[in-house]
Structure 1
Amino acid sequence: MRFFDVAALPVSPWRNGGGDTREIAYSPGEGHGFRWRASVATIAADGPFSAFPGVDRTITLLAGDGVTLSADAVPAHELVRVGEPFSFSGDLPIRASLGGGACRVLNIMTMRGAWAADVRRTAAETTPRAGGSGLLYVLAGTWQSGATVLTAGQGAWWDGDSEGAVTPLAPDSVALEAGIRDVRDMRGRRSYA
């Protein structure tokens, strides 16, 4: 299990000047692609998202007044509740419109047809499944894994076999859990649910 603190991650500004990204984890795939990628992005201005053909995306509001995501021929979606995930195709030409000032989101991307992510709020202990991948991002409270204590904006991720668990230590502890599984294995041996 690997740990992260978003405040300590390197910042990469977007080419269009509309925000920045802090990469948490990147699991390399075949060629120059990835199997899955997790990051935290700050959306600082209205504008287009970068296209990611063949990729499925799930973003979850972490802080701020929210953002409306829209694309031609699909209904717009307002992302206004912290901790509520929204999934969409990276093929779509998505445009972001801020509800107020800048907002911060957790962004999970998976290669369509090979990998899939299930993102949800949790207040329960998280234990990685054998062969599974995933991430836990602390929204509130205090969590612990081994000797490591995690607070808001921190978390843990794993890729493949990992031992241990991440346990909430206080009644107000809430986190986002992203389970990432290989959907090509129909027997479910590599699933994380």
Structure 2
Amino acid sequence: MAVTPVGARLRHVVLADLPASPWRNGGGETREIVCVPAGADMAEFDWRLSVATIARTGPFSAFPGVDRVITLLEGEGVVLRSTDGLIEHALTAPLVPYAFSGDVAMDCELVGACMDFNVMVRRSTTRADVTVQRVAARTAPARAGAFYAAHGTWTVTGTEGESATLAAGTGAYWLDAEAGWRLHPHSTGAALLSVRFESV
């Protein structure tokens, strides 16, 4: 199964088991990790997590009212340029989150085939905090959030005793339950994306 429960709050996700949705322009594909509310379309979600592979230069659609954070997971990356000429950003350093407004359409110039972790939030309802953990840590409580193991293996342990082991390419998320977590890497060089969502 792509998503399995771990205790009462945590849901474990295996990226390779999630269905891939090809882009209409043929430039890549997206695997959706979770969308809130469940089943909401791109005009109605409050927040959404996904991983995309990009294989071709092409446009990024505008999403008015949405804030975005994109993080290069692997590959050479892309250069993002807003169609109004005000933004140009080279997304070529791995595991460095880049936040930008979805209000403006972007052109995406491929440097080399890559995989990206994407966070999208409806600005009127939700705020996201995206960090990269490389050492043991404890997260501040949040009512919803997620983890994605980019490198190495991590143990995620909740205050109610639930625990999940996240190998590279897997993740976990929780919904509608105030929770803080202890994060423990199993080796040096491990890296974990941590996302906290707060209502506004």
Q: TM-score range by the shorter chain?
A: 0.7 to 0.9
Alignment match, 1:187: none
Q: 2:64 aligns to what SS in structure 1?
A: coil
Alignment match, 1:189: none
User: What do you get for the CA RMSD once the two structures are aligned?
Assistant: 1.9
Find out whether 1:181 has 2:198 as its counterpart.
Answer: yes
Q: Distance in 2 between matches of 1:3 and 1:92?
A: 33
Residues 128 and 162 in structure 1, CA contact (< 8 A), matched pair in contact too: no
Alignment match, 1:27: 36
Find out whether 1:85 has 2:101 as its counterpart.
Answer: no
Give the alignment of 1:36-75 within 5 angstroms: 36-71=47-82, 72-75=84-87
For structure 2, the residue ranges without an aligned partner over 5 or more in a row are 1-9, 157-161
Instruction: Describe the superposition over 1:46-71 as per-residue Cα deviations: whole angstroms up to 9, x where unpaired.
Output: 01012211111100000110100001
Residues 121 and 175 in structure 1, CA contact (< 8 A), matched pair in contact too: yes
Greater mean deviation of Cα atoms: 157-166 or 8-17: 157-166
TM-score, normalization by structure 2: 0.82
Once the two structures are TM-superposed, the CA of residue 128 in structure 1 deviates from its matched residue by 6.5
Residues 57 and 90 in structure 1, CA contact (< 8 A), matched pair in contact too: yes
Alignment match, 1:156: 172
Q: Which has the higher strand share?
A: 2
Find out whether 1:117 has 2:128 as its counterpart.
Answer: yes
Q: Distance in 1 between matches of 2:163 and 2:124?
A: 37
Percent identity at matched positions? 44
Given candidates 1, 18, 32, the residue that maps to 1:9 is 18
Given candidates 6, 13, 18, the residue that maps to 2:27 is 18
TM-score, normalization by structure 1: 0.85
Q: Distance in 1 between matches of 2:169 and 2:197?
A: 20
Alignment match, 2:187: 170
Residues 125 and 168 in structure 1, CA contact (< 8 A), matched pair in contact too: no
Instruction: Describe the superposition over 1:35-87 as per-residue Cα deviations: whole angstroms up to 9, x where unpaired.
Output: 10000011111010122111111000001101000012313000011110111
Residues 129 and 161 in structure 1, CA contact (< 8 A), matched pair in contact too: no
